[in-house]
Homo-oligomer: A and B are copies of this chain.
Amino acid sequence: MSGNQDIQKSFVEAVKFDEKGLVPAIVQDQETGKVLMMAWMNRESLQMTLEKKRACYWSRSRKELWLKGESSGNMQEVHDILIDCDGDTLLLKVSQTGGACHVGYHSCFFRKATENLSMEICDTLMFNPEEVYGKKS
């Protein structure tokens, strides 16, 4: 019942960061409801997101703050941030410029399981990542 009792808290106080100081953030298109990606936030990136209303994450691979779209231009304007019953997952409702996925698709969830348990592409390619991020040599 923690969800009901916590309603008096501030939003940031209600977030339970994990043992690495991170919380997963699901990102959903505000208008269409399409789920675009999931990324991780630490306290600082959450506070930046709340303040700037542009999605900011913690990059676990680069170990740095990651303002989404800073290199690709594919920003996320944040309309709403929701928190789940246990306080350990966030949901961002955003307007996505271009594609959310670094591979070039609109959503990071561009593959789905088929009946025979292989995979098929189920999304639209939005950009050529080599043009956006530069060719890896």
> A113 to B38, Cβ gap below 8 A?
no
> A83 to B112, Cβ gap below 8 A?
yes
Which B residues are CB-close (under 8 A) to A121? Answer: 7
Which B residues are CB-close (under 8 A) to A109? Answer: 82-84, 89, 91
> A111 to B7, Cβ gap below 8 A?
yes
Name the one of B3, B26, B110 contacting A111, with C-beta atoms under 8 angstroms: B3
A22-57 vs B, CB cutoff 8 Å, 1 = contact: the mask equals 001010100011110110000000000010000000
Interface residues of A, count at CB 8 A: 48
> B80 to A108, Cβ gap below 8 A?
no
Q: Please list the residues of chain A having a beta carbon within 8 angstroms of any beta carbon in chain B.
A: 1, 3-4, 6-12, 14, 24, 26, 28, 32-35, 37-38, 50, 80-86, 89, 91, 101-103, 105, 108-114, 117-122, 129
